[in-house]
A and B are shown apart, each in its own frame.
Chain A
Amino acid sequence: MNLARPAAILAAILCLAASSDPDERLTDSRQEARARALFQETRCLVCQGQSIDDSDSELAHDLRRIIRGQVAAGRSDGAIRDFLVARYGEFVLFRPRLTATNTLLWGAPFLAAGLGVVLFLRRRKTRDAVAALTSEEEARLADLRGDDAFDTLPPESGCNKAAAITER
């Protein structure tokens, strides 16, 4: 559906991947890499769904300056994220943290997979029951032939089995 493209995108393109602008970079390459990683998971709040790594808006510039400053000052990634959330709210993070509201978000895939597994196992169980009937049928047959095998069967499945046999 990428049919049509927007003026919004243009703003982005004019100033593509602004964060790697040499004028802004930190001299320590390891610190710069850390700052870049943080940029990529920080939302540019005034742009449409872009990270501050991509955006050239004024806000993104300021945020990059602040984050680079904090990285240079030796603050940890966690502390910087906390600072951003305190200032702008959870919205600023592209990778939401595990909070009460976000449980559903992180849980959804596992929920879906779990549901699938449960459904599959339940299906298998009913299949097993059907398969088991054949052996019970044998027992029933044995019973009809005069053996005592019927006693060893659980009563409920015995009834099912009887019903199943009548059906056949």
Chain B
Amino acid sequence: MTAELGQFALVLALCLSLAQAALSFAGRARNDRGLAGAGQGAALAAFLAVAIAFGCLIHAFMTSDFSVSNVAANSHTEKPLIYKIAGAWGSHEGSILLWCFILTAYGALLACSRGLPSGLKALTVAVQGSLGTLFIGYMVFASDPLLRLANPPVEGRSLNPLLQDPALAAHPPFLYAGYVGFSVVFSLAVAALIEGRVDSAWARWVRPWTLAAWSLLTVGITLGAFWAYYELGWGGWWFWDPVENASLMPWLAGTALLHSAVVTEKRGALAAWTAFLGLCAFTLSMLGAFLVRSGVLTSVHAFAIDEKRGVLLLCILALAAGGGFGLFAWRAPRLKDQSVFAPVSRESALVVNNIILSAVTTTVLTGTLWPLVLLAFGKQGGVGAPYFNLVVGVLMTLAFLILPVAPFLAWKRGDALGALRRLSFAAAAAFGVGLLVLLLTSPRKGLAALSVAVGAWLAAGAVTEMLVRVRAFQAPWPEVGRRLSGLPRGTWGMSLAHLGLGVFAMGAAFETAWRVESAEVLTAGGGLSLGAYHLTLDGVSEAPGPNYDAERGVISVVDRSGHPVCTARPERRTYDTGGQTTTQVAICPKALDDIYIVLGERRIAPGGGSSWLVRAYWNRWAHLLLLGPLLMAIGGALSLSDRRLRLAPGRRRTPAAVLAPAE
């Protein structure tokens, strides 16, 4: 019964989205507040309808209702409850439903938001409704998540065991909340282009949505990379796989958008460019959905390959993006750009940031789509990590060198020398870190030490910026404290995000250059050395789990002087359903490092006993890779909370926030 209710709710949601689009457009065209209000009501109702359908699907998963095809294919009675729920978005159909749920949720939020002029708001709600119609229509006609089976099986086929993981259960909701968050920016951009007004007021409305989507996407990507790190057992965290690139592209475009929107908001410049980036961010999100879902690119994560669906998704992409960019080409030339600024100014620095981020996005896009380009010429080919690492590495290094200087430049006309003078401490700190890394780590790698120094330059620059703002070491300390508490949250947010980026860059450079890897076939009692550590396989025992059997190794880790560091228990699991085998990595955190141990397959030792392939990595500074993005996401959230305060008129503001220049 619930499945039918859900299907009914989906059809209803399709009608409501259509009504949302039609009523809101009509409301704008006739300047009729009643019609526009009805459109907003339809947006709320569409969200409720999709939420009911989503609830029905989760209910079907929780009760293991195998008469629903989706549940039968992706669930199992023995699965823990959390993975039964997560199974609801583990399949293609379920993930599209999640996508629509979030899309309509943003639509409802938009309908409830205050402050937008009524005309622009009606148009934005209308465009959001059109997007909803496209995606809900796709779901209703081609990808029914609640399809019934005529002959339900007794037991389900279970969710891929690799997906049965807490980080991965949370990964899709965050990722989609990020992807789909850009749909609001897309709608706002289209609406502003129709109105013919892209100005600083518009940029101010765009920023909170961009910040929210960007922060959620940052969390989503980090969760995915973290999952790949400990679940895949390759010791790596980013493989430049098409599926990973698909999530990186909207993030890069969103980052560029965050920065260009600041210029548009504060200075009224780059208006057309900001609108363009707003269109790009969601287009790249949709492109990602298409790439992942259609299987046009071979990926280690390839899944749910279905050509008919691929073509339909491509049509949706062409329709939405074609409409958006077509409108842009028609309207953008009329947009006025009022402000003037010098070559050395904060505007210019942010333009350089945008140029570099666009070049990086282009690189990732070209590299990801390259197999398709070659296919058009009748060739086979593609690029991998070596290409991306080189090009993206060089471009981002350029951006990182400029980044700390930008906040010290004034709008309109900046003083580069003065900015550099204020950053001399940061430069010295970065140089010191680089030198220490060069001298203290072996083997000695100059270029890698330089990369770590660039990361340190970013981090130190962000800290310096805060210190200068509060006049630390200059003003008396009580005044510094007063200034510190008076800083707007947006400033904290920016500095935290930049600090996080620096932390991440340091971790990425260090981990990549100095990861130590070791592997041996060990019998019980055998040992292997891993850089500064020594590992001993004490034994392997059986360890049955809820829906799998496992072999569990006990490996003791000691450091050079023989002090015990930890006892690791990596597992090798064989799932009852499907007979798939996965490795459960054991990770010993040690300061900033991870000691990462994988138990491989059992082999027959020469003497006749059993032996195991044990593989171990010493992932140095690996924790920075998690800490950095976390700081960035927190920074985004802080900025967002600041915007809210400013956007809601009439609310009490702290006097200090009024005194400090709002950035």
Contacts and interface: CB of A to CB of B under 8 A. Distances in A.
Nearest to B179: A1
Interface stretch (A42-50, A57-65, A71-79, A158-166): A42-50
B90, B381, B395, most chain A CB atoms within 10 A:
B381
A22 B520 contact: yes
Contacts of B304: 4
Contact of A101 (B92, B162, B242, B379): B379
Interface residues of A, number: 52
A46 to B, nearest CB: 11
A131 B241 CA distance: 48
B242 A13 contact: no
A85 to B, nearest CB: 11
Interface in A99-122: 101, 104-106, 108-113, 116-117, 120
A6 interface: yes
A22 B581 contact: no
Interface stretch (A87-95, A135-143, A148-156): A87-95
Interface string B237-281: 000011110110000000000000000000000000000000000
Contacts of A124: 343
A49 B383 contact: no
A93 B162 CA distance: 29
Instruction: List 3 tightest A-B contacts by C-beta distance, closest first.
Output: A94-B384, A116-B355, A95-B386
B411 interface: no
Interface string A35-59: 0000011010000111100100000
A73 to B, nearest CB: 24
B301 interface: yes
A4 B92 contact: yes
Interface string B382-395: 11111100110001
Interface string B138-182: 000000000000000000000010110000100110010001000
B370 A5 contact: no
Interface string B202-245: 00000000000000000000001001100011110000011110
B429 to A, nearest CB: 29
Given A113-B355, A116-B354, A5 B160 contact: yes
Given A4-B304, A22-B520, A105-B383, A10 B580 contact: yes
Contact of B384 (A12, A41, A131): A41
B288 A48 contact: no
A2 B233 contact: no
A28 interface: no
A34 interface: no
A114 B163 CA distance: 42
Contact of A105 (B91, B367, B395, B517): B367
Interface residues of B, number: 82
Given A109-B391, A117-B355, A2 B366 contact: no
B362 A108 contact: yes
Contacts of B242: 49
Contacts of B620: none
B519 interface: yes
B299 A48 contact: yes
B356 A101 contact: no
Contacts of B359: 109-110, 112-113, 116
Q: From A4, A20, A50, name the one whose CB has the most chain B CB atoms within 10 angstroms.
A: A4
A9 interface: yes
B162 A112 contact: no
A6 B362 contact: no
Interface string A1-26: 11111111110111111001111000
B615 A20 contact: yes
B171 A2 contact: yes
B498 to A, nearest CB: 22
6 contacts: A1-B175, A2-B175, A2-B228, A4-B163, A17-B234, A48-B298
B89 A3 contact: yes
A7 to B, nearest CB: 8
A94 B373 contact: no
A6 B160 contact: yes
Nearest to B304: A4
B97 to A, nearest CB: 12
A51 B384 contact: yes
B424 interface: no
B289 interface: yes
Given A95-B383, A96-B387, A112-B362, A3 B355 contact: no
A5 B376 CA distance: 28
A106 B384 CA distance: 13
B124 interface: no
A130 interface: yes
A3 B303 contact: yes
Given A12-B300, A16-B598, A54-B234, A5 B362 contact: no
Contacts of B377: 101
A13 B232 contact: yes
B340 A131 contact: yes
Contact of B95 (A4, A51, A108): A4
Contacts of A16: 232-234, 583, 598, 600, 615
Contacts of B227: 2
A88 B233 CA distance: 29
Nearest to A4: B303
Given A101-B379, A104-B366, A94 B387 contact: yes
B242 to A, nearest CB: 7
A43 B387 CA distance: 13
A35 B384 CA distance: 18
Given A1-B247, A3-B89, A96-B381, A112 B235 contact: no
A95 B393 CA distance: 14
B648 interface: no
Contacts of A6: 160, 300-303
Residue with the greatest number of chain A CB neighbours at <10 A, chosen from B168, B383, B390: B383
Contact of B581 (A14, A101, A112): A14
Nearest to A127: B340
B601 interface: yes
